[in-house]
Amino acid sequence: MPHTKRKFPHNRAAKAKRSKGMLKMQRRYPIGAELIGEGRTHFRVWAPKAKRLEVVIEGQWGKDRGAKSAPTFEELEREATGYFCGAIAADAGTLYRFRVDGAENYHPDPASRFQPEGPHGPSCVVDPTRFQWTDRAWKGIQMPGQITYEMHIGTFTREGTWMAAARELAELARIGITVIEMMPIADFPGEFGWGYDGVDLFAPTRLYGAPDDLRSFVNEAHSLGLGVILDVVYNHFGPDGNYLGVFSDDYLQRERANEWGDSINFDGNNSGRVREFFITNGKYWIEEFHFDGFRFDATQSIHDRSDEYIVGAIGRAARAAAGERSIILVAENESQEAKLIRPRSEGGDDLDGLWNDDFHHSAFVALTGRNEAYYSDYLGRPQEFVSAAKYGYLFQGQPYWWQEAERGMPTFGASPAAFVSFIENHDQVSNSAQGARMRFETSPGRYRAMTALLLLGPWTPLLFQGQEFGATTPFTFFADVGDENLREAIRKGRFEFLSQFPSLATANVQRQLPVPTDRKNFERCKLNFAERTGQRPFYVLHQDLIRLRREDSRFQKQIPRGVDGAVLGERSFVLRFFGERNDDRLLVVNFGPRQSFVPGPEPLLAPPFGCEWETIWSSDDARYGGPGSAKPVSDDGWFLPAEAAVALRPIPATKPRRKPKDRHVREE
By annotation, the residues acting in catalysis are 297, 332
3-class DSSP assignment, residue 324: coil
How far is Cα 221 from Cα 375, in angstroms, rounded to an integer?
A: 36
Contact 371, 334 (CB under 8 A): no
| Encoded amino acid at 540, one letter | V
Beta strands 419-421 and 353-355 are parallel
Distance of CA 157 to the CA centre of its chain: 18
Strand order in the sheet with 123-124: 72-75, 53-60, 94-100, 123-124
Amino acid occupying residue 598: V
Alpha-carbon span 405 to 527, nearest angstrom: 40
602 backbone dihedrals φ, ψ, rounded to 5°: -135, 110
Omega of the bond prior to 608 within 30 degrees of 0, cis? no
For 634, counting Cβ atoms within 10 Å of its Cβ (0-12 exposed, 13-18 middle, 19+ buried), the class is exposed
- CA Rg value for the chain: 28
- How far apart (Å, rounded) are the C-alpha atoms in residues 355 and 531? 28
- From the list 45, 114, 64, 124, the residue with the least C-alpha distance to 90 is 124
Query: Pick from 631, 634, 636: which is nearest to 647 by CA?
Result: 631
Closest CA to 50 of 248, 265, 243, 244: 248
CB contact at 8 A, 502 and 372: yes
What is d(CA 574, CA 222) in angstroms, rounded to the nearest whole number?
37
CB-facing half-sphere around the CA of 12: CA atoms within 13 A: 0
